[in-house]
Amino acid sequence: MTFTEGWLGAIIVATLAIGLSNLLANFAFARRASRRARAVSETAPLVSVLVPARNEAHNIEACIASLLRQDYPNYEVIALDDDSTDATGAILDRLAQGDAHLRVVHNRQAPPPGVNGKSRACQMLAEHARGEWLLFVDADTLHRRDSIRAGVERALGLNVALFSAIPRQIIGSWGERLFVPAGFALIYNFVSPWRIYLERKPRPANAAAIGQYLLVRREAYFASGGHHAVRNQILDDVAMGKLLKAHGYRIALSDGDWVRCRMYRGFGEMVEGFSKNAFSILNGSLAMSAIFIAACLVLFLLPIVELVAGTASGAAHWAAAAAVALTGANFALVNRRIGQRWWVGLLYPIQLIVGIGILLNSIRWRYTGRARWKGRPLTDSAIR
């Protein structure tokens, strides 16, 4: 008798079936958000697009150029050169000379102890902004001409104070494919955008946001304390979603095919990038990390091991086959959704093994004080 036979196999298959149903519900919510979008006119509210940038010389020009081509009638772009040591500031200054939509702020001071650089940069940008809506975007994003319009229309249609979009992902190397797609599969499976929106109670546990595209109403942002209130959080975007939810504001997270992002370039940068925040995703909890690793092993990896072993021995393991089929379908659908080829999802066993290694590395970094990003140490109050 194998592990996936009997009651354990039934539990695994049922859990994966529920996960696939949750994924499809998330996709359905994205369609609902699109249908409920409220068209804006020439009197549309002013949107301040805010771009924090530190050592982004290889990304910043393409990002800003895409933002300056927007079809939205009423917006400004403010970029912050956050004490960059490369040509980021010079590139921004040159771009600002050619377009009145763009303003550039230069910061030459390191963040004080206990404050993470990106949170401080976002707070500084918000204080320079004039818009009724604040749209925070990462410097490694690229925007379709309707990017601002798409977010505002969905936020108005859903009647939320914060709307965040999950961008399409640009993956340029096999090193990045070894985990980035699985990272988004885990987001789509362990986060429920449809529940985040439908739940009216101010329960921050059921809240999330993606910093690559985060649109928030100005009034709600400052009333909740803004990024200053989450200045010691590594996951400032998730913390911002939780903050607004705790203050009683309604939020929404959905798909955003109007924005693309290449998070990392190559395997080494990808491991470093996810290592800085993987432990924070699990609330800095060793217990939650152990449960997460055990769940990955039992739900995703054990069935494929038993299926391969059973195939080699000529034995039929139907529960294992069903579990592998459900997981493969799930990850394939997510890959299609984030702009990748479906078959990349079939690499999920390798991707999850890499992911477990990244989590263990993230834990090691946190407890040895090695958590850093772009030359700065990171702090996080959520370690337990």
Indicate if the pLDDT at residue 373 is higher than 90: no
**CA 292, CA 193: separation in Å to the nearest integer?**
20
Sequence letter at residue 80: L
Phi, psi of 211 (to 5 degrees): -70, -15
Q: What is the DSSP letter of 298?
A: I
Q: What percentage of the chain has pLDDT greater than the value 90?
A: 74
The pLDDT tens digits of the residues spanning 147-191 come to 999 999 999 999 999 999 999 999 999 999 999 999 999 888 888
The pLDDT tens digits of the residues spanning 41-81 come to 888 999 999 999 999 999 999 999 999 999 999 999 999 99
Indicate if the pLDDT at residue 371 is higher than 80: no
Q: What is the pLDDT of residue 383?
A: 36
Q: What percentage of the chain has pLDDT greater than the value 70?
A: 97
If you average pLDDT over residues 86-105, what whole number do you get? 94
Indicate if the pLDDT at residue 382 is higher than 60: no
**CA 165, CA 167: separation in Å to the nearest integer?**
6
**CA 269, CA 355: separation in Å to the nearest integer?**
14
The pLDDT tens digits of the residues spanning 219-259 come to 999 999 999 999 998 899 999 999 999 999 999 999 999 99
Look at residues 175, 96, 138 and name the one whose alpha carbon lies nearest to residue 259: 138
Q: What is the pLDDT of residue 269?
A: 92
Q: For 258, left (φ over 0), alpha (ψ -120 to 50), or beta?
A: alpha
Sequence letter at residue 282: L
**CA 172, CA 1: separation in Å to the nearest integer?**
43
Q: What is the pLDDT of residue 41?
A: 86
Domains contained in the chain, CATH given = 6-25+281-377 (no CATH), 26-266 (3.90.550.10)
DSSP helix/strand/coil, 384: coil
Identity of the highest mean pLDDT range in 76-80, 100-104, 106-110, 271-275: 76-80
Q: What is the pLDDT of residue 4?
A: 59
Q: What is the pLDDT of residue 384?
A: 31
Phi, psi of 373 (to 5 degrees): -150, 125
> How far is the CA of 3 from the CAs of 210, 236, 300, in angstroms?
37, 40, 13
Mean residue pLDDT across the chain: 92
If you average pLDDT over residues 202-224, what whole number do you get? 93
Q: What is the pLDDT of residue 152?
A: 98
